[in-house]
Amino acid sequence: MTRPLLARAVDTAMDRSLVLGYTTIGLAVRRALPGWPSDPPAGVLEGRHVLVTGASSGLGVATVEGVAALGATVHMLVRDEAKGAKVADSIRATRPGVELRLWRCDVADLDDVRRFAGEFGAAVDDLHAVVHNAGLMPPTRTESPQGLELSMAVHLVGPVVMTEALRGPLTGGRVVFVSSGGMYGQPLRADDPGYTTGDYAPATSYARSKRWQVEMAPLLGERWAADRITVATMHPGWADTPGVQESLPRFRAITRPVLRDDAQGADTSVWLSAVEPAPSTGKFWHDRAERPTSLLPTTRPSDETRARAWAWLRGAADLP
């Protein structure tokens, strides 16, 4: 995946400018630059099973459509079955022949995650990939049924518990965490994973949990390497989804003309799920390229901070 020097320079400049790189313009320019990784071949996921969480809205729907278009049987994990069934019907109406199955689970509730994983594992013995896409930005500090701060439960602990419970079917497979470019602005708060100190700000809480995903990915990759499971984190740029419309109306009003559509936002998740060979484990991706995990020295955690965070995650997810 080597790219000509000038193409790399343009790509990097757009990445650091955020505004350019994260928009639909960024994706269009990168696609046109030499060295853009080719699309996975048609049918590459035929006979394979892919699980997508948060499959009832925005990027989740586009991810389902993207991997289904490559031939996968797609397992749509939703928390609202009626909403999920409508989405599945509308995908089937536009893409006859797609194989979709619906599963209900609240990713914030670790008991429900374990229940789901047990049922899923009994039904599907070979899972090619799981895309942990479910996400939210709680407007006020909220706790999950197990007392975890909600962003941390949905973006990190629930997905880790789910993956750990699905290690059998996932052997040789891939895990993709949908993170956010917002994490660049936050350090790894191993000292306060529950956001119990300071004034709660929804965007900060959200971005902190997305930082955790990125910093824990290499350690999760090491843990699951024994089962040849690879881990990737990615960020989609800025896409005009129901989530953004609801949680960030002012941001959306300003950026709307250049926001990506759902398929553009989901492009790298689909690519990571399908490209052969699987990208090396533990890395952070955007627009089909590996990206730095910190742009500021102040957000780069020390080994000690990362070790403290890992110890917390192991406890929260009850990892042996």
Ligand X SMILES: NC(=O)c1ccc[n+]([C@@H]2O[C@H](COP(=O)([O-])OP(=O)(O)OC[C@H]3O[C@@H](n4cnc5c(N)ncnc54)[C@H](OP(=O)(O)O)[C@@H]3O)[C@@H](O)[C@H]2O)c1
Q: What distance in Å separates the CA atoms of residue 279 and residue 291, rounded to the nearest whole number?
A: 13
Three-state SS for 145?
Answer: coil
Q: Judged by CB under 6 A, does residue 180 bind ligand X?
A: yes
Catalytically active residues, by annotation: 206
Q: What distance in Å separates the CA atoms of residue 35 and residue 33, rounded to the nearest whole number?
A: 6
Helices and strands counted in the chain (H then E)? 14, 8
Nearer residue to ligand X within complex by CB, 269 or 281:
269
Sequence-separated (6 or more) residues with CB below 8 Å from residue 61: 55, 87, 91, 262
Structure tokens at 134: 């479910």
Per CB under 6 A, the list member of 15, 106, 267, 287 interacting with ligand X is 106
Say if strands 283-286 and 289-290 run parallel, antiparallel, or are unpaired: antiparallel
Structure tokens at 255: 């950026």
Q: Judged by CB under 6 A, does residue 241 bind ligand X?
A: yes
Q: Are 135 and 243 in contact (CB under 8 A)?
A: yes
Applying CB under 6 A, the span of 221-229, 231-239, 249-257, 279-287 interacting with ligand X comes to: 231-239
Q: Judged by CB under 6 A, does residue 58 bind ligand X?
A: yes
CB of 113 to ligand X, least distance (A): 9
Nearer residue to ligand X within complex by CB, 135 or 169:
135
Q: Judged by CB under 6 A, does residue 242 bind ligand X?
A: yes
Q: Judged by CB under 6 A, does residue 57 bind ligand X?
A: yes
Q: Judged by CB under 6 A, does residue 157 bind ligand X?
A: no
| Residues of this chain that bind ligand X (CB under 6 A) | 53-54, 56-60, 79-80, 83, 106-108, 133-136, 154, 178, 180, 235-236, 238-239, 241-244, 265
